[in-house]
A and B are shown apart, each in its own frame.
Chain A
Amino acid sequence: MLLPMTSGAPDLSRFRADFPALARLRRGRPPIYLNNACVTLRPRPVVEAITRYYEAFPTCGGGRAEGVRHLHSWFGEELREEEERAREAVRDLLGAADVSEIVWTRNTTEAINLVARGLRLEPGDEVLGSEGEHNSNLVPWLEVQRRLRERAGDPELVVRRFFDLADDGGFDVAKALAAIGPRTRVLAVSHASSLDGSQVSDDVVRALARRVHEVGGVLLLDAAQSVPHRPVDVCALGVDFLAFSFHKMCGPSGMGVLYGRRAHLDALEPFIVGGDTVADTWVDAVEYKAPPGRFEGGLQDYAGMLGARAAIEYVTKTVGLDQVRAHDLALNAYLTERLQPLECDHFWLLGPRDAAERGGVVTMASSVGAIVNAIEREADERHNLMLRKGMFCVNAYLHRRHDRTGTASNNLRASVYLYNTEAECEVLCDVVEQVVKNPLDHLDDE
């Protein structure tokens, strides 16, 4: 029995019925899903939109050169219209100037790889990020560094540099601005942290954009943890590239977006080339399409595009992003209020103290893995409550900050979304309280 909301969060419980996964039972209990920073559940309209592709027009939407309609096909034409509407929905979601600035990718990772591989970086150029970037916004740049080192014959060449986060893990704008220099070609930072939910405010993003533009660089925003949770306007922010994934906002797996200002996309080299990326080919030459087509190689995930549009409509119109944001913050305020008093030598929360600076994420850490394992086990086995344990793809930061005390991987993240309730958060807090207050009573051989 779910309790009424007391946290001041908007009552979004009516939307729970839209999510088939929430109707499942195990041992007579429904799931409590608090792993939304990884993947959200999907509502029925998204599932139906994906199915509609396979049932209504399961064909190819390509086969048409830029600006030339030589596709005369009932299913094909309908599909092309659906694809265009999906791209328009993303344009509107991000406030982009034109649909040609929206590139379909498989996910945030692929979008950032596209930029990293497509920019014509040279030895001497620098890519700047924080110490706390997700692997998807770290590894592509380290790979660029590896290639440029080989090219320059200099194994010590530094391409990817980092600046420190604040002591509490929050974004330190002064350190970021100070780190931008004349060699900075790319500033690639997270809009919200995958580790602890730390948010970068819109004012800070604008300040970063101004500064990096002054030195002739570009700003890439890893928005995987922000676009699903708050309004984002790429023009107002002044970003040059932005990447996000739909699986974190009720959309399909394997669908993501790279936004790029058209001038930057025009200058970007293609990443994966072949079918549908070209206007024409000859036996010894190729003419690529204009963006975004040149970046979308091979048969595309049309079902995913339909699902993506349905997800955007569901989150922004059926529910409303402002409602989602207010709901996230209210639930996190409740979680934080319950969990912070439990902090001790063996248990603490990561990230800024103020829940409002962490969106919908609360990450618990422990000096010993047994506490983390016990909370996860008891939440799962007794309450079907799902969390995320480990390093959340922010290994580099955790190694740097916590290897000395051996606590780098002893983390447990709870992340809320629009269908979660205060009653569900209460269950988590009760489990944590029981374990943290008497940890040695909860030892198990896991």
Chain B
Amino acid sequence: MAVSTAVRTYYAERIFAQSGRDEAPPNFRPLDVEPTGRFTVEGCRGGGKNVLEIQLTGDDDRVTDLRLACGLCNPAMYACADVVADWARGRDLAGILALDPLDVGNLTPFFERLGGPGRPDDAREKFQYVLLALQRAVLDHRREAAPPMPEIGEHTGRDLDDEDDED
């Protein structure tokens, strides 16, 4: 299935252009210190594995830093993980845990950070994977048990705004 224009543009400029043989985009470089929380999610559709690991450091209140490791991820996973990492760095733990990623209305700030056009559904799917994984990494940091990952709807390849219009 084709990659949305928004994901393609973000990926080309922020991920691909910063990747090299001895270089990874800043959010995909390892932490310099041992992480205090981590979680791995497999957002697998088709042939890519999309295994994303989130590692973070934090204190009692905030995420002080976080990094990502992507195993054979597709462009949407890379782009969405990068957006979420920038959003979460320095953010208060309670705020991260309070977010309901399954409510598409809560994803608006992330779509805005991704850039347009529209609200592509391939990004919606991966934002949900990444945010749910982030919450579980935060719970791991707080040494709290994490609930199982909920089912996330496979993306339609369309734009959420187009679907709204059809209604």
Contacts and interface: CB of A to CB of B under 8 A. Distances in A.
B48 A446 contact: yes
Contacts of A348: 21
A443 interface: yes
Contacts of B51: 409
A273 to B, nearest CB: 39
Interface stretch (A78-86, A300-308, A372-380): A372-380
Interface in A367-426: 367-370, 372-373, 376-377, 380, 389-390, 403-410
Interface in B97-140: 122
B8 A444 contact: no
Contacts of A439: 16
A394 B157 CA distance: 35
Nearest to B71: A409
Nearest to A443: B3
B23 interface: yes
B73 to A, nearest CB: 5
B73 A369 contact: yes
Given A370-B75, A445-B122, A446-B48, A440 B70 contact: no
Contacts of B19: 345-346, 367-368
Interface string B31-58: 0000000000000011111010000000
A82 B3 CA distance: 58
Nearest to B25: A406
Given A368-B78, A370-B75, A445-B157, A440 B69 contact: no
Nearest to B19: A367
Contacts, number: 99
B122 A346 contact: no
A367 B157 CA distance: 26
B18 to A, nearest CB: 9
B28 A370 contact: no
B94 interface: no
B95 interface: no
A368 B122 contact: no
B8 to A, nearest CB: 6
Interface string B63-96: 0000001111111101000000000000000000
B48 A373 contact: yes
Given A444-B2, A445-B76, A445-B155, A346 B16 contact: yes
Contact of B74 (A370, A380, A408): A370
Contacts of B48: 369, 373, 446
A368 B69 contact: no
A368 B157 CA distance: 22
Interface in A424-446: 439-440, 443-446
Contacts of A406: 24, 28-29, 69-70
B9 to A, nearest CB: 10
Counting from the closest, the 7 A-B pairs by CB-CB distance are: A446-B46, A367-B19, A345-B20, A369-B72, A446-B48, A406-B24, A409-B71
Given A370-B78, A445-B155, 7 more contacts: A377-B47, A390-B72, A405-B23, A407-B24, A408-B71, A445-B122, A446-B46
21 contacts: A345-B23, A346-B20, A346-B21, A348-B21, A368-B16, A368-B19, A369-B49, A369-B74, A369-B78, A377-B46, A390-B49, A403-B69, A406-B24, A406-B69, A439-B16, A440-B8, A440-B12, A443-B8, A444-B74, A445-B155, A445-B157
Interface of B: 1-3, 8, 11-12, 15-16, 19-24, 28-30, 45-49, 51, 69-76, 78, 122, 155, 157
